[in-house]
A and B are shown apart, each in its own frame.
Chain A
Amino acid sequence: AQSVTQLDSQVPVFEEAPVELRCNYSSSVSVYLFWYVQYPNQGLQLLLKYLSGSTLVKGINGFEAEFNKSQTSFHLRKPSVHISDTAEYFCAVSENSGYALNFGKGTSLLVTP
């Protein structure tokens, strides 16, 4: 069985500072990895995904994530955040079946001036 751990429930950061949101997973098979973002009162939107190939994945809004198989991690990064990046961020994993996304509990990113 797979599981996803987002180590930080809340991350406060100042505008224009860099940020890293951590995600670790456990699985006995190959996985596909995703980051979704949820803005207040909205559904989730896909930020980026890793299926295969280069371990560094670039997504929308300047975010990127790096797949590290040995550490079973898929941390999300942005070099300079904006106020508008304030949202809930979810890491998700799927195994062979593909359709069943297993989500972490989310990390609340709060960007302040």
Chain B
Amino acid sequence: DAGVIQSPRHEVTEMGQEVTLRCKPISGHNSLFWYRQTMMRGLELLIYFNNNVPIDDSGMPEDRFSAKMPNASFSTLKIQPSEPRDSAVYFCASSLSGSLGEKLFFGSGTQLSVL
């Protein structure tokens, strides 16, 4: 199993540009999570999908952020327009069913730098 696959690994862009981060969860996993990691705030849950449906997006910082999961094997996190304060490592994680106490499998993350 290849695990959770994220692309790109690194993204450098200029303020105001659109950024799209991609994630392929582990095959057969029904739950998908997007997290953001910064030095100041640590790991924050942005959004959680179950069976391709967004269940909780209360962590999405503002309207500039949007996430989609068009099918069970693909999700995107889009930032438009991007700002320097969006610079962070963005992780995607998946789990089998999202049930209580279940193990999360994380991707290697996308390091985003907005200049």
Contacts and interface: CB of A to CB of B under 8 A. Distances in A.
A94 B31 CA distance: 16
A51 B100 CA distance: 9
B42 A43 contact: no
Nearest to A4: B42
Contacts of B45: 100-102
B52 interface: no
B42 A49 contact: no
B106 A51 contact: no
Interface stretch (A15-23, A65-73, A74-82, A103-111): A103-111
11 contacts: A32-B101, A43-B105, A44-B91, A44-B104, A46-B104, A98-B102, A99-B56, A100-B56, A101-B45, A103-B43, A106-B42
Given A43-B4, A98-B99, 20 more contacts: A32-B101, A43-B107, A43-B108, A44-B43, A44-B104, A45-B106, A49-B101, A90-B43, A94-B100, A98-B98, A98-B100, A98-B102, A99-B31, A99-B48, A99-B50, A99-B55, A101-B45, A101-B104, A102-B45, A104-B42
Interface of B: 4, 31, 33, 42-43, 45, 48, 50, 55-56, 91, 93, 98-109
Q: Which 5 A-B pairs have the closest CB atoms?
A: A43-B106, A98-B100, A103-B43, A105-B42, A51-B101
